[in-house]
Amino acid sequence: MREIYRQLADAGILFFEYGVTALDAYYDEKPRPVRFVVAECSVIDLARCFSELQYPNLPYADAAFDTCEASLALRTSFAESGGAPAGAIQESSMQESSVRFLCTEDALHCEVGGSWANFRRNPQSDIFYDQGNIYDDLKAKAIPSCNTDTDNALFESAALATFHPEGYRLAKEPIPLPACTSSYFQKDLLITVLTGPYPAAGLELLKKSGFIAREWPEIALLDDVDHAKDYHPEGNGWNHTLQTFSYRKERDLVLSLALLLHDIGKPESLSREGKRFDQHAELGARRARKFLARLGFSTTTQEDVAFLIRYHMMPAALSVLPIQKTEPVITDPRFPALLELFRCDEFSSYKDPEGYYEACNAYQTIRRNMKNPYRNADGSLKSRSKRTIAHY
């Protein structure tokens, strides 16, 4: 992001972060993968700065610039010490933020939406500009009011909702849905909501507005998934999914996508041999891959999310499954992220945390055995010939 801002500054273009990006900075929140910038220039001037600029015809941006994306495997590190994996998901220098540019003749004073959307920050000086007189609300961290008369009403409302656990109540009037939304719009919206402080509030607002039922029906079906109260006192599939975000420690996009989609296979799964939702992980991985492809997510992201969903039930049985079945998954660099998904899934069901810690202990034990030249992954002694080969 620094390089993008440097290119704008070198070109003599005045620019400000606006809306949710400026608010993230004000609240000292982690920046989201999609940032919003208003630039005092023409689209032609902007194109001279960025050769790979895109023009996706978005209601909130005149141009877009998407940077490289790292796989989850490159952003994951193993914990070398015992106990639960710490800091499993790490930032990568390859994972830069994408930028949505709004071009205007007056970058500081042009209106792009409601009063909250017009909040500005100069990233070079770190000075904020309160164009909508919202400073008192900012200090109080109050639920922002929402302007439902703009073309950006839905996007703005969902983004603002993520700043407050009750943010889905911010719209005093029904939020009009755009007549149609592109996959680009939907992808930006989903990323912005999922990587905010309270994604459940933004998702609930999108559901109440009717957007999820219209555009993301595979997610809307979670509301029809009835759970046994003994295992899921938090409620149905939709309520359970929202609850998982309250246990999320990192706002990593891939993990957040996996939390949202980890149970979307349940609506089409069948009860078989005592299993209420038989093969829902396999079905969910396929559904998730198709959903993410439809929104334009990279193949890398699709595969990472599908991996987490496909195996999200495995950690629960890690200590009893044969090592031949679990070793390929355990040695995958994405496994620590899988444990994070499992933790959020288990804790949101109000289960005893012992299952999660048992999975972590089993994982650490297997990892130690795999590093031991005298033992197999299951802890048994290697044959003398294999020990000799390993030694040399």
Q: How many structural domains comprise the chain?
A: 1
CB atoms near residue 229 (< 10 Å): 9
- Residue 347 has which token pair? 């804790």
Query: Along the 392 residues of the chain, how does pLDDT read in single tens digits?
Result: 788 999 999 999 999 999 999 999 999 999 999 999 999 999 999 999 998 899 998 989 999 998 766 666 666 643 333 444 444 455 433 345 799 999 999 999 998 888 899 999 999 999 999 988 999 999 988 888 877 777 789 999 999 999 999 999 987 778 889 988 999 999 999 999 999 999 999 999 999 999 999 999 999 999 988 866 655 566 789 999 999 999 999 999 999 999 999 999 998 876 665 566 668 889 999 999 999 999 999 999 999 999 999 999 889 888 788 888 888 898 899 999 999 999 999 999 877 788 899 888 888 888 888 888 888 777 788 876 555 545 44
Which domain covers residue 261, as residue numbers? 216-392
Evaluate whether residue 14 is within a structural domain: no
Question: Cα(253)–Cα(195) distance, rounded to whole angstroms?
Answer: 6
Evaluate whether residue 381 is within a structural domain: yes
∠ CA 370-336-310 to the nearest 5 degrees?
100
Name the pTM for this structure.
0.89
Do 98 and 53 form a contact (C-beta atoms < 8 A)?
no
Evaluate whether residue 34 is within a structural domain: no
Q: In this structure, are strands 98-104 and 34-40 parallel, antiparallel, or unpaired? A: parallel
Evaluate whether residue 256 is within a structural domain: yes
Evaluate whether residue 151 is within a structural domain: no
Evaluate whether residue 308 is within a structural domain: yes
Evaluate whether residue 163 is within a structural domain: no
- Give per-residue pLDDT as tens, 167-204: 999 877 788 899 889 999 999 999 999 999 999 999 99
- Cα–Cα nearest to 305, from 247, 359, 256, 239: 256
Q: Could you tell me the CATH number of the domain that includes residue 240?
A: 1.10.3210
Do 309 and 286 form a contact (C-beta atoms < 8 A)?
no
- Give per-residue pLDDT as tens, 105-150: 999 999 888 889 999 999 999 999 998 899 999 998 888 887 777 7
Residues 6+ apart with CB under 8 A from 314: 321, 326, 329, 338
Evaluate whether residue 183 is within a structural domain: no
- Cα–Cα nearest to 323, from 390, 376, 374, 381: 376
